[in-house]
Amino acid sequence: MTSSFDFAPLFPAGLPAPSARWTGLAKYSFVGGNNDSEQLPLEGLIEATTSALQREGRSLATYGLAHGPQGYLPLREFLVTKLKRDAGINCTVDDLLIVSGSLQALDLVNATLLTRGDTVIFEQDSYQGSLTRLARLGVNVAGVPLDKDGMRMDVLAATLADLKSRGIRPKYIYTIPTVQNPTGSIMPESRRTELVRLATEYGVPVFEDDCYADLVWSGQRPPAIHAMSESGGVIHIGSFSKSIAPALRVGFIVAPWEVMSRMLALKTDAGSGALEQMVLAAYCKPHFASHVPALTRALRTKLDTLMEALNEQFGTAAEFEEPKGGIFLWVKLPEQVDTLKLYQAALAAGVSINPGPEWSTDKSHSRSRLRLCFASPTHQQIREGVAVLAEVCRKEFGVPARSANVEKRA
């Protein structure tokens, strides 16, 4: 479609740069939160869809299935049970809002609490989508470093004290405590207790993003921070993207009515997709508890393949902590590797990666790091893709000095 009309003079200042045209996924795609298509519970979803539609499909003629702006009631009922069982959260259907993926949850929480010039506290390495939203909103982000148990409480305490001394009350402490993105750590219960104590002391809400929390290798997770707070100063969000299917776009928020009523006033989309809510409710009630362990077992084997491939191809040049669950591995390469440059060169060779600086508040700390999602590629694609990545990295940065492939060929 050609257009001679010039829209450019009409664009307001501050728009993000235009998107490039989409050119498809890379041959070896280690980016984003795509999941293992072999583990998608297809037969169960088909059965759930058919039964839900036969039973109450005609209600699709009414916005929100006439269940109100907080979402389809049976899905909220499932979540009440699931959140109690898995995360220790005591809530009712009135405390739950179904949203169009946890990205809409981020937008609604941010719109309810933030304005330009505000400050929030983040884990130093964190989810790109959360970081880019704050940059667009003009909000300052104070990063707190992580160790193998998640956000460091000594630095959080110092950060809160420092901000207070400068008259700044942060709007929230954002944490992904259960399978942290990108590090894959799980914050132990004792540290959660300390986090709640500090947040209460300083009067700062905790924004708990639990969207990967179903995917824990051991099947055991600590109680949610939401469940441990006596004051109720916690907003908890989650998603079905990682446990069932990302393309469905269904997430949720647990929040007190004071916040919920404000978010509802900002959610002007006439409800999130109702068919997807119906399907999830019908599928999850009987099947969620058995589906998730099967999924995590499959993901765990892919993680093993990825770690093996990295060890084989990169040797000691690739360092990582073994994640406790999830779909990604956070990898440290030698200092000379700039992963933003590696990203470009790898893409040209058919391998897509998430470069570290996009997933961190500290660009120098994350300069040589990258995130690899292992859920979507097959075992063979993982092995081949890592080999290509090592070859590109060697050509561009001289490391790994000799990759496994080269040695084998020699």
Tell whether residue 233 is a contact of a second copy (CB under 8 A): yes
Of the two residues 66 and 161, which places its CB atom closer to a second copy in the complex? 66
187-206 positions binding a second copy, by CB under 8 A = 205
Binding mask 239-268 for a second copy (x = CB under 8 A): ------xxxxxx---x-xxxx-xx-xxx-x
Write down the least CB distance from residue 326 to a second copy, Å: 15
Write down the least CB distance from residue 312 to a second copy, Å: 27
Tell whether residue 112 is a contact of a second copy (CB under 8 A): yes
SS3 of the chain:
CCCCCCCHHHCCCCCCCCCCCCCCCCCEECCCCCCCHHHCCHHHHHHHHHHHHHHHHHHHHCHHHHCCCCCCHHHHHHHHHHHHHHHCCCCCHHHEEEECHHHHHHHHHHHHHCCCCCEEEEECECCHHHHHHHHHHCCEEEEECEECCEECHHHHHHHHHHHHHCCCCCCCEEECCECCCCCCCECCHHHHHHHHHHHHHHCCCEEEECCCCCCECCCCCCCCHHHHCCCCCEEEEEECCCCCCHHHCCEEEECCHHHHHHHHHHCCCCCCCHHHHHHHHHHHHHHHHHHHHHHHHHHHHHHHHHHHHHHHHHHHHCECCCCCECCEEEEECCCCCCHHHHHHHHHHCCEECEEHHHHECCHHHHCCEEEEECCCCCHHHHHHHHHHHHHHHHHHHCCCCCCHHHHHHC
Structure-block tokens of residue 366: 């994350």
Of the two residues 66 and 158, which places its CB atom closer to a second copy in the complex? 66
How many residues in the shown chain lie near a second copy by CB under 8 A? Answer: 104
92-111 positions binding a second copy, by CB under 8 A = 92, 94-95, 100-101, 103-104, 107
Residue 184, CA distances (Å) to 125, 181, 212, 337 in order:
11, 6, 9, 22
Tell whether residue 160 is a contact of a second copy (CB under 8 A): no
Write down the least CB distance from residue 102 to a second copy, Å: 9
Specify burial of residue 160 (Cβ count, 10 A radius: 0-12, 13-18, 19+).
buried
313-352 positions binding a second copy, by CB under 8 A = none
279-298 positions binding a second copy, by CB under 8 A = 279
Tell whether residue 400 is a contact of a second copy (CB under 8 A): no
Write down the least CB distance from residue 147 to a second copy, Å: 28
**Total residues belonging to the chain:** 410
- Order of strands, sheet of 140-144, starting from the edge strand that comes earlier in the sequence: 96-99, 251-254, 234-239, 206-209, 173-175, 119-123, 140-144
Write down the least CB distance from residue 360 to a second copy, Å: 19
15-54 positions binding a second copy, by CB under 8 A = 15-22, 24-25, 32-40, 42, 45-46, 49-50, 53-54
Write down the least CB distance from residue 66 to a second copy, Å: 6
Of the two residues 27 and 152, which places its CB atom closer to a second copy in the complex? 27
Write down the least CB distance from residue 296 to a second copy, Å: 15
117-146 positions binding a second copy, by CB under 8 A = 118, 129, 132-133
Q: Which of 10, 166, 316, 409 binds a second copy (CB under 8 A)?
A: 10
User: Which region, judged by CB under 8 A, interacts with a second copy, from 144-152, 269-277, 335-343, 354-362?
Assistant: 269-277
Of the two residues 246 and 400, which places its CB atom closer to a second copy in the complex? 246
Of the two residues 107 and 391, which places its CB atom closer to a second copy in the complex? 107
Q: Which of 220, 270, 409, 410 binds a second copy (CB under 8 A)?
A: 270
Write down the least CB distance from residue 222 to a second copy, Å: 20
Write down the least CB distance from residue 369 to a second copy, Å: 23
Give me the residues paired with residue 143 across strands. 122
Of the two residues 103 and 198, which places its CB atom closer to a second copy in the complex? 103
351-380 positions binding a second copy, by CB under 8 A = 376
Tell whether residue 167 is a contact of a second copy (CB under 8 A): no
